[in-house]
Chains A and B, each alone.
Chain A
Amino acid sequence: MPPKRIIIDTDPGIDDALAFLLALASPEIKLEALTTTQGNVTLETATRNALAVLELAKANHIPVVAGSVVPLVQPLRASAHVHGESGIGNSKLPTPKSKPREGHAVDYLIERVLAEPNELGIFPIGPLTNIAMAIRKEPKFAKAVKELVIMGGAVLEHGNVTPQAEFNIYVDPHAAHIVFHSGIPITLIPLDVTHKCLLEQIHIDRLLRIDSPITRFIRSAVETCFAHSESYGGKGCALHDPLTLATVIAPELLTLKELRVDVDHSGGVSMGKTFGDFLGKTGKPANMRVALQARGDDFVELFLQRMETLAKTISV
Chain B
Amino acid sequence: MKHILLDTDPGIDDSLAILLALASPEISLEGLSIVHGNCSLEQATTNALSILELANASHIPVAVGCELPLVQPSLLAPETHGNTGLGYAKLPGPRTKPQVQHGCDFLIERIMSAPGEVTLVAIGPLTNVALAIRQEPRIVQSLKELIIMGGAIRYEGNTTALAEFNTYADPHAAHIVYHAGIPTTLVPLDVTYQCVLTQGDVDRLLRLDSPLTRFIADATRFYMEFHDEYQGVQGCVINDPLALALTFAPELCDYRELPVDVDISGGVSLGKTIGDFYNYNKKPANMKVALGVRPRDFIELFLERMEKLAQRIDSIENKIGTQKNADSR
Contacts and interface: CB of A to CB of B under 8 A. Distances in A.
Interface residues of B, number: 21
A133 B266 contact: no
A178 B170 CA distance: 13
Chain A interface size, as a band, is: 20 to 34
B26 to A, nearest CB: 33
Interface in A150-180: 174, 177-178
Contact of B131 (A137, A265, A266): A137
Given A72-B70, A137-B102, A267 B137 contact: no
A74 B104 CA distance: 21
A178 B127 CA distance: 13
A265 B68 contact: no
Contact of A177 (B71, B134, B265): B71
Contacts of B66: 136-137
A313 B308 CA distance: 78
Interface string B67-107: 11011000000000000000000000000000000101000
Given A73-B264, A178-B70, A268-B265, A137 B176 contact: no
A286 interface: no
A69 B136 CA distance: 9
Nearest to B175: A73
A23 to B, nearest CB: 27
B219 to A, nearest CB: 28
B216 to A, nearest CB: 33
Interface string A124-154: 0000010011001111000000000000000
Nearest to B263: A267
A267 B175 CA distance: 13
A54 B127 CA distance: 36
Interface in B241-268: 264-267
Nearest to A173: B71
Given A267-B264, A268-B265, A136 B68 contact: yes
B241 to A, nearest CB: 29
B172 interface: yes
Contact of B265 (A104, A137, A266): A266
Contacts of A132: 70
A104 B108 CA distance: 12
A157 B133 CA distance: 35
B135 A106 contact: yes
B131 A73 contact: no
A267 B71 CA distance: 14
B137 A73 contact: no
Contacts of A137: 66, 102, 104, 131, 135
B37 to A, nearest CB: 15
A132 B137 CA distance: 17
Interface string A217-261: 000000000000000000000000000000000000000000000
Chain A to chain B: the 6 pairs with minimum beta-carbon distance, closest first: A266-B266, A267-B265, A266-B265, A139-B67, A174-B71, A73-B172
Interface of B: 66-68, 70-71, 102, 104, 127, 130-131, 134-137, 172, 175-176, 264-267
Given A72-B172, A136-B127, A174-B172, 17 more contacts: A68-B135, A69-B134, A69-B137, A73-B176, A104-B135, A132-B70, A133-B131, A133-B135, A136-B70, A136-B131, A137-B131, A177-B71, A265-B71, A265-B266, A266-B266, A267-B266, A268-B265
